[in-house]
């Protein structure tokens, strides 16, 4: 494994994510206090609808980076150019076709959803701008495959930071100097996305000039290769929607727009943590894919196990932190909500986070299925869980008073079963190794959750924040204690030495440079 490149990618990805989280934490309470929780709920619902469309698109795009990287690592530049060019021109056509239903949906949405009359025009404009930004992203999404193929996710992270800062700057200016409107969020998305597209295109041509973009490389066989395996990515995306992607829509249709707003707020922090998990785990994806492309099975196994431990080590503390200190955070963050609403938000956030408590330790295994192009079985299993989730939620909504708690909780409980049984077993099967291969890191993770979570809970009995400064100081102390304990639990003796030696080398090199 190229430790230097992985480190640079990880640092870049985390800086990008930190920027995104910081902006979200600052802007969300501002939007809620000025426009209300219902209006904010439609921001999340718009993003959910985009994910609905992505279900079909991921059949084409889901395997693009993987196929380009495998071909590029073999120096088969013509095949890499074929995948890249074919996906690009196909995505342009799809984006143009989708423009028509986008216009129809945005113009009729007040007849579909439960919506207060005072926010109709504002929300319609928001949705139209958000969808236009999404369609622009579709058209040029394949350019990211170049950074994946070259294992330069740090560059992609830098571009994302620029995009996020620009997005935040536009929102701050518009909200401060003009009458607050929720559609400013859509405007900022379009402008920042155009800059993101431009920088990504420049990076692609600098990094991979051997991967050409031309109609002469367009071939239906590449669409076939991508879609034959990618269709399972689409079904996988569908099951994700059945598990978590329909929650805001169901809440709006069966309960109320206000409850949808509270659920949207509750999903904000868990959503950022899910992004953190995907970011940390995704840092190892290029090296794992390259190892597979070169036929290095032993290297792939080592990298996968380490990725499981490292992802769990880095991400489990934030998950446990939200569970232990979440209510204190929400009191400080959402000052416009009542005590009852804050408690509901915290409960919903914990229910949403429940699977993440343990999925942080098995997240890299999802990429094993993608790398080996064996997606059929896991997708069918997940799809069955998704359908079961919808059925149970409907029954509970009709027969109990659980309301939004049923929507948030059922999926989490079902997902836990999949985490402990199917995921580690099938990943081991795909790599043709012992079925118990990945239970070692997972068992360490379970112990880690019990010990670190218990210590953090005990500390919370004595350390209760009363202000933002106090909160930050307490979280820093509790988090540091958690990471120290987790370090000794998650890594074996040799891995501890490797991490310490590598850290010393980086620090020594930095001092020498200075």
- The answer to whether residues 80 and 211 touch, using CB atoms and an 8 Å cutoff, is yes
pLDDT at 510 over 50: no
Q: How far apart are CA 307 and CA 327, in angstroms?
A: 31
User: Other CB atoms closer than 10 Å to residue 97's CB: what's the count?
Assistant: 10
Nearest to 263, CA basis, from 393, 387, 134 = 393
Q: What is the reported pLDDT for 514?
A: 43
- The answer to whether residues 167 and 23 touch, using CB atoms and an 8 Å cutoff, is yes
pLDDT at 406 over 60: yes
Q: How far apart are CA 306 and CA 390, in angstroms?
A: 35
Structure-derived torsion over alpha carbons of residues 191, 193, 196, 198, reported in degrees to the nearest 10: -70
Q: How far apart are CA 297 and CA 330, in angstroms?
A: 46
Q: How far apart are CA 404 and CA 390, in angstroms?
A: 13
CA 90 to chain centre: 25
Q: What is the reported pLDDT for 477?
A: 94
Q: What is the pTM of this model?
A: 0.66
Q: What value does the mean pLDDT take over residues 278-282?
A: 81
Q: How far apart are CA 189 and CA 127, in angstroms?
A: 11
Q: How far apart are CA 392 and CA 233, in angstroms?
A: 25
Q: What is the reported pLDDT for 95?
A: 83
438-465 burial: b if 16+ Cβ within 10 Å, else e: bbebbebbeebbeebbebbeebbeebeb
Q: pLDDT for 438-483, tens place per residue?
A: 998 899 999 999 999 999 999 999 888 889 899 999 999 999 999 9
3-state secondary structure 47-87: HHHHHHHHHHHHHHHCCHHHHHHHHHHCCCHHHHHHHHHHH
Q: How far apart are CA 471 and CA 467, in angstroms?
A: 6
The larger pLDDT score, comparing residue 123 to residue 227, is at 123
- The answer to whether residues 379 and 239 touch, using CB atoms and an 8 Å cutoff, is yes
Nearest to 77, CA basis, from 238, 209, 268 = 209
Q: How far apart are CA 248 and CA 48, in angstroms?
A: 8
228-246 burial: b if 16+ Cβ within 10 Å, else e: ebbbbbbbbbbbbbbbbbb
Phi, psi of 296 (to 5 degrees): -90, 85
- pLDDT band at residue 506 using 50, 70 and 90 as cut-offs: very low
Beta-carbon-side half-sphere exposure of residue 314 (alpha carbons within 13 Å): 19
327-365 burial: b if 16+ Cβ within 10 Å, else e: bbbbbbbbeebeeebbebbbbbbbbbbbbbbbbbbbbbb
Q: How far apart are CA 305 and CA 364, in angstroms?
A: 8
pLDDT over 90 percentage in the chain: 9
Q: pLDDT for 77-131, tens place per residue?
A: 888 888 888 888 888 888 888 888 888 888 887 777 777 767 788 888 888 888 8
Give the burial class of 403: count Cβ atoms within 10 A of its Cβ; 0-12 exposed, 13-18 middle, 19 or more buried: middle
Q: What value does the mean pLDDT take over residues 159-183?
A: 84
pLDDT at 16 over 70: no
pLDDT over 70 percentage in the chain: 86
As a whole number, the mean pLDDT across the chain is 80
CA distances from 55 to 45, 58, 77 (A): 16, 6, 29
Helix, strand or coil for residue 354?
A: coil
Q: What is the reported pLDDT for 49?
A: 77
Least confident residue range of 3-17, 64-78, 268-282, 475-489: 3-17
Give the contacts of 403 (CB within 8 A, at least 6 positions apart).
255, 259, 397
What's the angle, vertex CA 318, arms to CA 365 and CA 306, rounded to 5?
30
In sequence order, what DSSP letters do the residues of 98-125 get, joined into one string?
A: HHHHHHHHHHHGGGTS---GGGHHHHHH
The larger pLDDT score, comparing residue 494 to residue 464, is at 464
Residues in the chain: 514
Nearest to 219, CA basis, from 93, 96, 79, 97 = 79
Give the ranges where 294-375 is alpha helix by DSSP (H).
297-333, 339-353, 356-359, 363-371
Q: pLDDT for 42-72, tens place per residue?
A: 777 777 777 777 766 766 666 777 778 878 8
pLDDT at 504 over 80: no
Give the contacts of 401 (CB within 8 A, at least 6 positions apart).
none
Q: What is the reported pLDDT for 453?
A: 92
- The answer to whether residues 6 and 155 touch, using CB atoms and an 8 Å cutoff, is no
- The answer to whether residues 222 and 86 touch, using CB atoms and an 8 Å cutoff, is yes
What counts of helices (H) and strands (E) characterise the chain?
Answer: 22, 0
Q: What is the reported pLDDT for 512?
A: 47
């Amino acid at each position: 494994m190229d430790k230097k490149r992985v480190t640079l990618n990880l640092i870049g990805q985390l800086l990008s994510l930190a920027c995104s989280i910081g902006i979200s934490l600052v802007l969300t309470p501002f939007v809620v206090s000025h426009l209300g929780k219902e209006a904010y709920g439609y921001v999340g619902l718009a993003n959910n609808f985009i994910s609905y469309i992505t279900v079909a698109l991921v059949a084409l795009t889901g395997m693009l980076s993987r196929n380009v990287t495998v071909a590029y690592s073999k120096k088969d530049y013509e095949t890499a150019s074929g995948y890249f060019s074919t996906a690009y021109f196909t995505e342009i056509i799809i984006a143009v076709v989708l423009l028509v239903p986008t216009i129809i949906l945005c113009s009729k949405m007040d007849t579909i959803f439960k919506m207060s009359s005072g926010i109709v025009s504002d929300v319609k404009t928001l949705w139209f701008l958000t969808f236009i930004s999404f369609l622009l992203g579709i058209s040029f999404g394949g350019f990211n495959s170049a950074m994946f193929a070259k294992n330069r996710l740090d560059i992609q992270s830098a571009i994302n930071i620029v995009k996020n800062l620009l997005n935040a700057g536009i929102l701050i200016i518009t909200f401060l100097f003009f009458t607050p409107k929720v559609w400013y969020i859509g405007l900022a998305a379009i402008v920042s996305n155009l800059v993101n597209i431009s920088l990504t295109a420049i990076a692609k041509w600098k990094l991979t000039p051997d991967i050409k973009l031309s109609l002469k490389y367009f071939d239906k066989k590449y669409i076939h290769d991508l879609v034959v395996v990618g269709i399972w990515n689409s079904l996988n995306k569908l099951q994700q929607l059945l598990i978590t992607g329909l929650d805001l829509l169901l809440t709006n249709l069966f309960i109320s727009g206000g409850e949808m707003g509270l659920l949207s707020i509750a999903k904000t922090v868990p959503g950022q943590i899910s992004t953190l998990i995907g970011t940390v785990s995704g840092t190892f994806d290029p090296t794992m894919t390259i190892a597979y492309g070169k036929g290095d099975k032993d290297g792939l196994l080592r990298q996968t196990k380490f990725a499981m431990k490292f992802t769990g080590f880095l991400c489990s503390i934030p998950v446990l932190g939200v569970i232990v200190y979440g209510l204190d955070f929400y009191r400080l963050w959402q000052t416009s909500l009542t005590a009852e609403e804050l408690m509901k938000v915290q409960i919903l956030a914990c229910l949403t986070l429940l699977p993440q408590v343990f999925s942080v330790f098995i997240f890299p295994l999802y990429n094993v299925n993608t790398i080996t192009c064996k997606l059929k079985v896991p997708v069918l299993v997940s799809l069955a869980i998704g359908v079961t989730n919808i059925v149970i939620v409907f029954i509970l909504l009709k027969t109990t008073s659980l309301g939004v708690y049923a929507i948030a909780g059922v999926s989490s409980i079902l997902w836990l079963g999949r985490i402990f049984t199917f995921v580690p077993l099938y990943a081991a099967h795909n790599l043709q190794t012992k079925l118990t291969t990945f239970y070692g890191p997972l068992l360490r993770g379970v112990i880690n959750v019990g010990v670190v979570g218990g210590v953090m809970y005990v500390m919370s009995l004595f350390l209760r924040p009363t202000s933002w400064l106090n909160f930050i100081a307490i979280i820093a102390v509790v988090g540091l204690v958690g990471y120290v304990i987790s370090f000794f639990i998650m890594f074996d003796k040799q891995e501890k030495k490797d991490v310490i030696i590598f850290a010393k080398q980086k620090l020594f090199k930095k001092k020498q440079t200075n």
